[in-house]
Structure 1
Amino acid sequence: MSSMDKMWASFIAIALMVGASFLISFARSKTTGVLRFILSTIAFLLFVPILLYMVVSIL
């Protein structure tokens, strides 16, 4: 992989991390019940591609 591809992979990972952080913060402060659980689950599932993009950017 070229250095530019690794840079873009790290930018994508950072953007997904920011999105997951805002999503979990919103879910915990503004929602309750089933919606809170769904938003928290989506935020947690975002960590799978975040982890993959992080590994790609390191290697």
Structure 2
Amino acid sequence: MSSMDKMWASFIAIGLMVFASLIISFARTRTKGVLRAVLSIIAFLMFIPILLYMLVSLL
């Protein structure tokens, strides 16, 4: 894998991490009940591709 591909994989991981953090922050400050749980689960599940992109960028 080329260095440029690794760079783009790391940028995607960083972007997904920012988006997941924004979702968690929004869920904890502005929502209640089921919507809060759903948004938290979505943000948590986003960490699976974040982890994969991170590993790709490291290898």
TM-score after normalising by structure 2: 1.00
Q: What is the RMSD computed on CA atoms of the aligned residues?
A: 0.2
CA distance in 1, matches of 2:35, 2:19: 17
Q: What residue number does 1:37 align with?
A: 37
Runs of 4+ in 1 over 4 A off after TM superposition: none
User: Which residue pairs with 2:46 in the alignment?
Assistant: 46
Identity %: 76
Structure 2 distance, partners of 1:18, 1:30, is 18
Gaps of 5+ in 1: none
5+ residue gaps in structure 2? none
Corresponding pairs, count: 59
